[in-house]
C-alpha cells in the first residue's frame, strides 16, 4: 500500500469516527427527550417526567425526594382539617343560636285574640254581658236575662221609672233591668262602663245583684 493510499485511508477513518460521535450524541439527546417508538405509552410518560442530572442521566434520588411527602404537607393537611372542624363547629353553633332566636321571636309573637263583635242591639248587649259574666263567675242564661229585660223595660235602655217608691225617694230605676243608682254602684262589674244606663253595664250589674240575692237572674220572675 502506498503512502497516498494510507493517508486517504486514515482521513476516511477520522471522518467516519466524527460522524459516528455526532450520531451517538444526537441519539443520546433523543433518548432523553423522546421515548423509543417501540416503547409503550406508560414508558413514554415516565421518561418525559423523570428528572435528569447534568450528564443527562436520570437521578433516582431526586425522583424519590419529589415523590415522598414533605413534612410541611402533613402540617398543612392538619391545619386544613382543624380549620374545617372549626368551620363546622361555628356553623353548628350558629344554627343553634339562630334556632334559639327564632324560638324566642315565636314566643314573643303571641297570637292576639280578636275581640268578638257584638251587635248594637238587645241581642248583642245580652251576649256581651254573658261573656263578661262567664269570666267573672256570675251565673245566668240568655233566656233568664232576656225574659226579665222584656218585663222590666221592653228592651229600651233609656226607660226611667218615675212612679214607684224609688222614684218618690229620688232614686228612680233606670235601664234595661231597672236598676237604681246605689245598687248599680255596689254591684258594678269591672270591665263595663261606669254608667247606669249603659246597656251592658246595666245588665251585668243587675245579674250580679240577682246572683247575690236570688242565686241567679234565672230565678227572678217578677219585680226584684
Q: What is the pLDDT of residue 77?
A: 60
pTM for the whole structure: 0.52
- pLDDT of 11 reads 47
3-state secondary structure 63-118: HHHHHCCCHHHHHHHHHHHHHHHHHHHHHHHHHHHHHHHHHHHHHHCCCCCCCCCC
- 50-78 per-position pLDDT tens digit: 444 445 454 444 444 444 455 555 666 66
May I ask the CATH architecture of the domain 122-219? Orthogonal Bundle (1.10)
pLDDT score of 78: 60
Among 191, 202, 194, smallest CA distance to 131 is for: 191
Which has the closest alpha carbon to 127: 113, 114, 143? 143
Per-residue pLDDT of the chain (224 residues; tens, 9 = 90+): 444 443 344 444 444 444 434 344 444 443 334 344 344 444 434 444 444 444 545 444 444 444 445 555 566 666 656 666 655 555 555 565 566 676 667 656 666 667 789 999 999 999 999 999 999 999 999 999 999 999 999 999 999 999 999 999 999 999 999 999 999 999 999 999 999 999 999 999 999 999 999 999 999 999 88
CA distance 28 to 67: 26
Residue extents of the structural domains in the chain: 3-67, 122-219
Q: How many residues are given for the chain?
A: 224
Amino acid at each position: 500500500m502506498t503512502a497516498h493510499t494510507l493517508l486517504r485511508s486514515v482521513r476516511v477513518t477520522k471522518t467516519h469516527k466524527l460522524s459516528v460521535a455526532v450520531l451517538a450524541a444526537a441519539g443520546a439527546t433523543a433518548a432523553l427527550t423522546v421515548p423509543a417508538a417501540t416503547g409503550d405509552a406508560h414508558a413514554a410518560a415516565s421518561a418525559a417526567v423523570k428528572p435528569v442530572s447534568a450528564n443527562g442521566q436520570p437521578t433516582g434520588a431526586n425522583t424519590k425526594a419529589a415523590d415522598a411527602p414533605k413534612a410541611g404537607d402533613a402540617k398543612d393537611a392538619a391545619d386544613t382539617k382543624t380549620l374545617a372542624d372549626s368551620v363546622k363547629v361555628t356553623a353548628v353553633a350558629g344554627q343553634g343560636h339562630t334556632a334559639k332566636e327564632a324560638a324566642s321571636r315565636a314566643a314573643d309573637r303571641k297570637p292576639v285574640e280578636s275581640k268578638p263583635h257584638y251587635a248594637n242591639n238587645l241581642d248583642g248587649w245580652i251576649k256581651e254581658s254573658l261573656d263578661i259574666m262567664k269570666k267573672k263567675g256570675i251565673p245566668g242564661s240568655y233566656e233568664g236575662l232576656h225574659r226579665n229585660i222584656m218585663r222590666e223595660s221592653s228592651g229600651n235602655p233609656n226607660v226611667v221609672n218615675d212612679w214607684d217608691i224609688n222614684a218618690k225617694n229620688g232614686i228612680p230605676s233606670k235601664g234595661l233591668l231597672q236598676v237604681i243608682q246605689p245598687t248599680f254602684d255596689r254591684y258594678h262589674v269591672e270591665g263595663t262602663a261606669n254608667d247606669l244606663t249603659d246597656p251592658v253595664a246595666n245588665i251585668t250589674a243587675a245579674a250580679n245583684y240577682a246572683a247575690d240575692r236570688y242565686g241567679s237572674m234565672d230565678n227572678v220572675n217578677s219585680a226584684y
